[in-house]
A and B are shown apart, each in its own frame.
Chain A
């Protein structure tokens, strides 16, 4: 199944995309964007009460939730967010210690994935040039729909060197960007717990639908 693991809705301060409009867009574009679900990774926040089950039922699509937090090694996607994690880490803090966060999230039942590693300042590649590698990294976002030229390419070297698994996500802030990049899993995923297990197992690969969208246009 194919999930877009990195998306922002209007709950993030820099996005204007309602979740339901994402759903409508994906249903309309199903022929070129065979996405089975999305993971909302809002910036620096976690709302324990957000519930999109009615939209899952209405549109027949999986809607999971995570968060994008900011660390001293760049931005990190956190999946399987729970009370333990939010008690230990203040998601509004833009200098969270990644060396502490990534193993701690795993111990608490989640999984943290550094995103857009090739991006200046907020990507892992730049930080690895002058700091030790982070213990416990399982996967990095090798394909990010918001990356500029060369930023995704930088990540291949990182993956080859450290043996990380690779995921993809659109990093969508606008409706028409949803699903342009995603992750194809060999495993069936029905919940965020399934997602964490699948990410740990490593049976997945990033998929890029941008060329298909261009041809369709």
Chain B
């Protein structure tokens, strides 16, 4: 029998956060901390988007998938660059939940997708955060 949970959670939005305008200081702090400079002092390095923290990082109605969970990595598809003054919006949804088996037994993966856009509604990044539960 396939993994049993209410599939209506797939595609459901669980967070929408509008961030304060991006500052030059924030870009410089990120560049210094990550060692990844942007194209210039008013353009953030592409991975700047990983510093964004929404109000909620998991849905409230998340099914019980196991006792232990850990970060299983993230994929980021980059869009337009982030510049000083941009107002970024991050919208997070449950993109997928699936089960697989490996050498150590069965695992459930949750993929949380966050789409980041700017004030012009240009796509800045699509971030797929994977969590593994067992």
Please determine whether B102 and A44 come into contact, CB atoms closer than 8 angstroms: no
For residues 1 through 51 of chain A, which have their beta carbon under 8 Å from a beta carbon of chain B? 13, 43-44
Residue from A13, A90, A92, A122 within 8 A of B101 (CB atoms): A122
| Chain B binding surface SS class | strand
Count A/B pairs, Cβ under 8 Å: 34
Contact present for B106 and A94 (CB under 8 Å): yes
A86 on the B face (CB < 8 A): no
Chain B hits for A94, CB < 8 A? 2-3, 99-101, 106
Interface size on B, residues (CB 8 A): 14
B103/A121 in contact, CB under 8 A: yes
Chain B residues 28-64 with CB under 8 Å of chain A are none
Interface size class of A (residues with CB under 8 A): 10 to 19
Q: Let me know if A119 and B2 touch, CB within 8 A.
A: no
**Contact flags A101-125 to B (C-beta < 8 A → 1, else 0):** 0000000000000000001111000
Is the Cβ of A13 less than 8 Å from the Cβ of B106?
A: no
| Residues of chain A contacted by B98 (CB below 8 angstroms) | 13, 44, 92
Q: Which residues of A contact B (CB under 8 A)?
A: 13, 43-44, 70, 75, 90, 92-95, 119-122
12 new A-B contacts at CB < 8 Å, known A121-B102, A122-B101: A13-B96, A13-B98, A43-B100, A75-B101, A92-B98, A92-B99, A93-B1, A94-B99, A120-B103, A121-B103, A121-B104, A122-B102
